[in-house]
Structure 1
Amino acid sequence: MSAVTTTTTTTAAAPAPPSAPRARRRRRGLAPGRPLPAARLVGPLLLLALWAAASATGQLDPAAIPAPWTVLRTGVRLWTDGTLSTDVLTSLRRAAYGFALGLTAGVLLALASGLSRTGEALIDGTVQLNRAIPTLGLIPLFILWLGIGETFKIAIIAIVVYVPVYLNTHAALSGIDSRFVELAEVQGLTRYRFIRQIVIPGALPGFFVGLRLGVTGSWLGLVVLEQINATSGLGYLMFQAQNYGQTDVILVGLAIYGIFGLVSDSAVRIVERRVLSWRRTLSS
């Protein structure tokens, strides 16, 4: 009788082990989970839906904030007239030139400052001083130096871009573990192999953060610069619309700036994900 009782007790107690997998499942649940496809479009689409609903129910004054379909019709009309396409191409050209110059300057200065104490002494303090000065406050000075044409606009955009690229790349270089440097010295790596195998991989995460900030900054600077003695560009189009009270045209320009910023940031994210595929992070 006692043997039967023991067997029954043992059999009844057998289901206990599955608690361990449940604990493991709870631990895995701390992560945010798999990335959702096109998740970053949910917020803008929700905002657009709220805008459309408020316009359809009369909650928004059409003179102050036109409905989305009104803005869309205005954009189609401007594109058909050829006005919008010309302004878009002009803005893209200015942003591209300024971004290329700023990106090149930021990377080169960060490498010179991050890999040499002499370079850091000569460069880092100057860049930190530049960072403390509002870049758009340099516009009057650059107009006196470079004139009122395209050159000063491209130069200002380049400054807006190079500062975050430099700061984040330099911080990533400074944050490389010194044990990797010691290992490279023990392995007898040359300067070139040290930079290629240790410095560049270690600096890439910070570089991409600065790149994303630089891309966004180029569009933010452009919208201001194109309202200063410009004859074309999205900023000029919005400035002219302000003079004539054309709110729908202003919203067309803002929407295009927003689309450019979202697309360019997404492109940088895609490149970052592919280049840094070896990392295992929460976002991946």
Structure 2
Amino acid sequence: MSISHAPPEPSETDISGKSPDSGSPHTPTLEPLLPASTRRARVPRWLRRTSGPLLLLALWQLLSSTGVLTTEVLAPPGRIGQVGWDLVRDGSLPAAMGTSLQRVAAGLLLGTVVGTGLALLSGLFRVGEDLVDASVQMLRTVPFVGLIPLFIIWFGIGEAPKIAIITLGVTFPLYLNVYAGIRNVDTQLIEAGESLGLSRWGLVRHVVLPGALPGALTGLRYSLGIAWLALVFAEQVNADSGIGFLMVQAREFLRTDVIVVCLIVYAFLGLLADFVVRSLERLLLQWRPTFTGR
């Protein structure tokens, strides 16, 4: 009687032919690949965001030091900083900023009320769209700067025409974005709300308005930018205070350094306003996850 022997089972080996428990010191170890977003996170984000302005400032200083930019064309950064500090110390710049902020706040408030109200009327009701949308679309193509002489005739040379210019510039971006936000709400959400028994006002409150909120905040960001642009034009027409008034005085005396200081103040105020709106977006749109980049 013969006894058959089963062949031994092959032992597990790695791709190099060695046993995994052989303990060879020459076994290569692979480090995990990190995604690009993780590698970039090692550099602080605030440093990356400030690197662009700092490089621009260094280039400005270099061109001024080498004589490419003369003082008559553009003052060097050191001179700009000294002039800005002098304006702050004598109180003229803080007073001008306060006046300009009041004008922007008043125009922004009125423009927000008018633009949002017209958008709600036109977006929620077909009759409102027929009555409002065509007129608004025609008026928004008229340059609001060209209406300055007409506003002066209507409202005089006081604060009213300046606020009216800002209000007109703010109204149309808000109207367009709020209207588009309302009309772009997914119809499936409307049908789901109706199936749950929501009334018309319930649909508007719980479905339409939250769906239009991202568009409204985008319109607010656009409106803030246009508000500062309108303020520049408004304050250079029959103004006796404000940042634009400082720029007009500096132009009369060929003070490019003062003009640059005022422009920098405009830029920082606009950046601050945009930061406020971004913070408002993060607060109000927590329910809406979005792509944040990689």
Give the aligned partner of residue 57 of structure 1.
66
Alignment of 1:9-24 (within 5 A): none
CA distance in 1, matches of 2:215, 2:231: 24
For 1:213, what is the secondary structure of its paired residue?
Answer: helix
Deviation at 1:278, TM superposition (A): 2.0
Number of aligned residues: 275
Partner of 1:36: 45
Alignment map for 1:93-132 (pairs within 5 Å) = 93-132=102-141
Higher helix share: 1
Q: Residue by residue, what CA displacement relative to the aligned partner does 1:26-51 show, whole Å, maximum 9, x if unpaired?
A: 9x769998793475444333322221
Q: Is the 8 A contact 2:12 2:19 kept in 1?
A: no
State the match for 1:166 in structure 2. 175
**Which one has the largest radius of gyration?**
2
1:134 to 1:4, Cα distance in 2 relative to 1, 3 A? same
Query: Which residue pairs with 1:76 in the alignment?
Result: 85
How far, CA to CA, are the matches of 1:164 and 1:64 in structure 2? 35
SS at match of 2:153: helix
Provide the rounded CA distance (Å) in 2 between the counterparts of 1:213 and 1:9.
Answer: 61
Deviates more, 1:6-15 or 1:180-189: 6-15
TM-score scaled by length of structure 2: 0.84
Match 1:147 to one of 143, 156, 172: 156
Partner AA of 1:211 in structure 2: L
Taking a change above 3 Å as real, the CA distance of residues 273 and 75 of structure 1, as seen in their structure-2 partners, is: same
2:250 is aligned with 1:244: no
Q: Percent of aligned pairs with the same residue? A: 44
Distance 2:69 2:150 in 1: 42
Q: C-alpha distance in 2, partners of 1:72/1:234?
A: 17
Over the aligned positions, Cα root-mean-square deviation in angstroms equals 2.8
1:95–1:154 Cα contact (<8 Å) kept:
yes
Change (3 A) 1:42 1:8: closer
Asked whether the 8 Å contact 1:31–1:282 carries over to 2, the reply is no
Partners of 1:105 and 1:77 in 2: CA distance: 40
1:170-181 mapped onto 2 (5 Å cutoff): 170-181=179-190
2:205 aligns with 196
- AA aligned opposite 2:64: S
Give the unaligned 5+ runs of structure 2. Answer: 1-5, 21-31
For the 8 Å contact 1:32–1:282, the answer to whether it is kept is no
Q: Which amino acid aligns with 1:191?
A: R
Aligned to 1:19: none
Structure 1 runs not aligned, ≥5 long: 16-21
Match of 2:94 in 1: 85
